[in-house]
Structure formats: C-alpha cells, structure tokens
Amino acid sequence: MNILDYTGTKFINSPIDLPTIGGNSGEIGKTGVVVNIYIGIKLFTVPVDPKTGLFTWTATEAFPDGDYSVSISTVDRAGNVGAPTLRTLRIDTTPPEAPELLNLYDDQGGKQSSFDPGQTTDDKRPKLTGIAQADAIVYLRDADGNTIGSARADKVTGKWEMEPVQDLRDGDNNLTLVAEETFGGVTREGAPSASFKIIIGADSGTLPRDTIIITQAIDDAGSATGVLSNGALTDDTTPTLNGVVSAGSTVTVYYRLAGSNIWAGSATASVTGESWTWTPDSALPTGTYEFQASIGDKSSALFSLDIAAGADDIQKKTRIDSAQDDFGTWQGPLSNGAITDDTTPTLSGRGEANGKVVVRYGVPANTVVVDVDSSGHWTWTPAPALTAGNWNFDVQPQGHTKWSETFSLSITDASGFNPVITHAYDDVGTPGNLANGDTTDDTTPTLHGRAEANSTLTLRYRSGTGSYASVQVDADSAGNWSWTPPALQNGSWSFEVQKAGQSGWNGLSLTIDSSADRNPVID
C-alpha cells in the first residue's frame, strides 16, 4: 500500500515547527482504520476518514529545525499493519541568509575586467556573480527598494549570475541583495545584504595592446533610433558600428549573413585615438548579419543585427516569445497554451530596438504600450492581476494595424488546476489515439495529459484490483505531460493522476489485448 504515492525518498517540507502530515490511505468505506506515524521514535496514531480514505495530523509540540525520519503505515480494524511509506520531514523555520557578492564584471567599452564595489565603470549593466542559498531567488535592489535584477541560485552550488534589467544611473548607485525562497508552499524573504556601491562613469587609462571590440551600433533611420545592442532588430540598412581599439591600429570590419562561413564583404573603419567607427557604403539587404572587427590576427567577438526590410518586415518579426511564472510552487517559463496559477505572468518578446509595441489582451480588448530595449527585447507584467480564465495576448509595433500570432494562457483560480489524462496513444499495428475504456494491442501505450506548467504530478496504475505502482511525471512549460509504461500484461488496466495535496484522482482505463489488432489470416 502506498499512502503518499511516490517513488524513492521524498521530503515533507514544513516552514513552521508544528508540521502537518496528511495523505490518502486508500482504505475507503472501511471503519476503524488508523494510520501510525512515526517521527523518529515518537508514535502518533491518526484516524482515517472512512468516506474518503484521507487522514491528517498536525503536531501539538514544536519540533526544532532539522531532518526527521518518518514512517507511515495503515492499520486496519483487525490490527493488520500495511507496508510503511518512508519519508524525511524537514523543518526549516528560518528565511534564507543574505546573498554574498563575489564579483562584478564590466563587459562594455575598452576596459573590460572585474572590478570591486566602490570603483567606477562605464558598464551600466555590469554582471554580478555571487553565492546564495541553493535554489533561492536573488533580487538586486536600488536605494529606493526597487527590484532591478533577479537570478535563481544553482540548485546544487548556490552560484548565481545576473545583470540589472535597466541601466544604472550615472554616478553613485547604492545597491543591496536579498534572497527569497519558497519552502513548504510558503514564500519568504531573508534580510538584505550590506549595501554596496557601483559608480557609473568613464573608464580611464590606456587600452591594452591588441584590444579590438565592437561596443554598439547606431540606428539613425526611421522613427525608432538610438543605440543598438548585440542582437537588435532594426530597420536601418546602413547602421553605424562603433568600437574601441588599441591606439595606432588599423581596423577592418567584416560582415556576413548569419549561418554562412563566408564573409560577404569587408571595409576599413575610421579610427580616432582609441575609438573606431564604420558605416556601410550601401544598404544591406534584409537578413540577420554578423559583424567582426579585426586588427591583424586579432578579432573581436561577433556582433549581430537583424536588419528588417521596412515596416512590414518589422511587423512580422514583432512577437510574444514566452511568459514567466514566478508565483506558487511551480515556477518557470510558460509556453503558448500553458496552464498557470500566476495571475501576473511576465510576457516577453521581440520588437524593433528602441521602439514601442502595443500589447492587446482580454475581452473586451485592453491595450498597453511597452518600450523595447536596445537589443530588441521587451517585457510586460499585467497590472492589476488577471482573473481566472483563458487569456489571449497579441502584440504589434505601435502605429501598425496587423497583430502577431496569439499567445494564450489559462490562469487557474486559487485552488490551481488538477492534472488530467486526456488520452493514450497506440503506436503498434494500426496507430491512433485511445479514449477511456478502449482496447489496444499496444502493451506500452503512451499516456498524455494536462497539468500546471512546470509541475510534477503523481501517476499510479494497476491491473484489475491489484496493488498500485506509482511514478512522478513532469509537465512541460506548456502544461503538457506524457508517460510510457513498461510492457503491460494483457488485462484491464487503470491509470490515475493527482497533484500534491489533491484528494481525488483523474483516471483512464484501458484493456490490453496483444492480439486485438492482428490481421486475420487463412490457414
């Protein structure tokens, strides 16, 4: 008997020192059944609800933080004890400690290197690296308490990296770091780190020998103009490239369409001191281009631009790429069609660098204007929160009339979405989808279903009235999941899925008959 439906050692996480343990005993319609819960050597006996088979227990004496071995078994009215389910109870009432900053790195301009807090850099979005509690979310905040960057610490090492999502202001920037975790279904934030300073200003000093870097491009065509970062989408067919170089060098700029290993052209750039600039003599045809600057046998990193052929091409390339769920137990990227409990999912997409896009959503339609950054990316978070239901989102460049392909999300209510089995698939003999109650000759039919995006569900299955076997199955970023069983024997099989904390199951039954789809033969 598998009370908590899991395979392998699992943790019961409790953010309070009075933990609650509950589950499904499977003993429905039977009176007098109890569950014995051992925490260490302490025994707690809990009655089972005969109508539902459910049990729940909450500690009445506090447990100090730490890990405790747990054994759970059912005892029927006759005193028969079922096989125990083993878990580890983890009590952790302490929020995560403040993150530690290990390094700051400037990857802009002529002087690119690590630097210490309190020093001056020309990189308005330097890379921060540090250590925090494993799997915690690290937030970077300015002096006013605004969050200007975030990263998730590695699940094993706790290492994290981030860049601010907006430019730091010229002069002094007093910043702090704070870690947030979700433990036992509770999101909590620790104390902030000590304040540290990043000063934005001009780099000083002479560039090292053999330095050659493309720092940016400039768009001076159309309505959206300004600095172009690496990867930007632009309608300027003659963008000006800028960079830095060791004094006294001759700079050659090469360019080609992305994916080609043959340079389509080259030209000599204009050099003044330690700066260089180059503008194509003629318009570049539409396409994604790679540029590289060279001095002798030294070359810069590749710099790419997506050059569009006018307004219609900009419209076609403006899109919603994904959304991000940062709420609840299951967090992560959301693909088109995902199911999520995040009522304020952050949408991100592509648009013309330095331009504006219009996001449309809801019925009747709401619209909001969103800025696109210098790399051609935009993000938007709904405010106020969206209500439960199916939501469609579209985007277009501001001033256009055509909308992008629709991006859809299904937002659940506070109770979330209970996973379901939608169908199974038979790929033996005559292939096809299988519905509840169907017969198949496929002894390994693949089950498919829906669940909250990025969630983990429990799937159990059995033959006839036999004992259940169970597995854990992960849903993808769209909320789809699939699972293929080991070869099953002929007979009636039931499959059921459930998420953690759910009392009921969603099921599908199949009859396995390995001879069902055989073609008749004449002896």
Give the model's pLDDT for residue 3: 42
| Distance separating alpha carbons of residues 499 and 472, to the nearest angstrom | 10
Query: Quick one: which of 14, 23, 17, 43 has its CA closest to 85?
Result: 23
Give the model's pLDDT for residue 261: 92
Topology of domain 100-200, per CATH?
Immunoglobulin-like (2.60.40)
Give the model's pLDDT for residue 260: 93
Amino acid identity of residue 207, one-letter, is: L
What is the arithmetic mean of pLDDT over 117-130? 92
| Distance separating alpha carbons of residues 100 and 97, to the nearest angstrom | 9
Rounded to the nearest 5°, which phi and psi values hold at 315? Answer: -60, -40
Give the model's pLDDT for residue 8: 41
What is the arithmetic mean of pLDDT over 370-379? 93
List C-alpha distances in Å: 286 to 222, 236, 289, 308, 373.
15, 10, 9, 5, 21
Question: Reading across the β-sheet that carries 456-463, which strands appear in turn?
Answer: 439-440, 506-512, 491-498, 456-463, 469-474
100-200 shares its CATH topology with 313-411: yes
**411 band by pLDDT with thresholds 50, 70 and 90:** very high
Give the model's pLDDT for residue 205: 61
Residues 6+ apart with CB under 8 A from 174: 142, 143, 195, 196, 197
| Distance separating alpha carbons of residues 322 and 344, to the nearest angstrom | 13
Give the model's pLDDT for residue 204: 59
Residue 7 has pLDDT above 70, yes or no: no
Query: Quick one: which of 263, 319, 272, 315 has its CA closest to 292?
Result: 263
Q: Is the sign of the CA dihedral 133, 137, 142, 144 positive or negative?
A: negative
Give the model's pLDDT for residue 517: 64
Strands 270-272 and 298-299: unpaired
Give the model's pLDDT for residue 430: 87
Give the model's pLDDT for residue 500: 84
239-254 per-position pLDDT tens digit: 999 999 988 899 999 9
469-513 per-position pLDDT tens digit: 999 999 999 999 999 999 999 999 999 999 988 889 999 999 999
Give CA 27 to chain center in angstroms: 39
Give the model's pLDDT for residue 209: 84
List C-alpha distances in Å: 371 to 195, 266, 359, 381.
30, 34, 11, 12
Residue 448 has pLDDT above 80, yes or no: yes
**203 band by pLDDT with thresholds 50, 70 and 90:** low
CATH code of 420-512, in short, is: 2.60.40.10
Give the model's pLDDT for residue 2: 37
- pTM: predicted TM-score of the whole model, two decimal places: 0.63
**1 band by pLDDT with thresholds 50, 70 and 90:** very low
Give me the architecture of the 313-411 domain, per CATH. Answer: Sandwich (2.60)
Residue 407 has pLDDT above 70, yes or no: yes
Give me the architecture of the 212-308 domain, per CATH. Answer: Sandwich (2.60)
| Distance separating alpha carbons of residues 467 and 324, to the nearest angstrom | 39
Query: Quick one: which of 154, 201, 208 has its CA closest to 173?
Result: 201
Residue 493, both tokens: 């099989």
Contact 349, 378 (CB under 8 A): yes
What residue ranges do the domains of the chain occupy?
Answer: 11-91, 100-200, 212-308, 313-411, 420-512
**178 band by pLDDT with thresholds 50, 70 and 90:** very high
Give me the architecture of the 11-91 domain, per CATH. Answer: Sandwich (2.60)
What is the arithmetic mean of pLDDT over 148-164? 93
| Distance separating alpha carbons of residues 43 and 94, to the nearest angstrom | 26
Q: What is the mean pLDDT of the chain?
A: 91
Residues 6+ apart with CB under 8 A from 398: 355, 356, 357, 358, 369
**83 band by pLDDT with thresholds 50, 70 and 90:** confident
**146 band by pLDDT with thresholds 50, 70 and 90:** very high
SS3 244: strand
Residue 466, both tokens: 């036999």
What is the arithmetic mean of pLDDT over 427-452? 95
Residue 5 has pLDDT above 70, yes or no: no
Angle made by CA atoms 27, 30, 31, in degrees to the nearest 5: 125
For the ranges 3-12, 64-73, 237-246, 453-462, the lowest mean pLDDT is seen at 3-12
For the ranges 437-446, 471-480, 509-518, the lowest mean pLDDT is seen at 509-518
Task: Kindly tell me the burial class for residue 66, based on how many C-beta atoms sit within 10 Å of its own C-beta (0-12, 13-18, 19 or more).
Answer: exposed
**379 band by pLDDT with thresholds 50, 70 and 90:** very high
| Distance separating alpha carbons of residues 116 and 118, to the nearest angstrom | 6
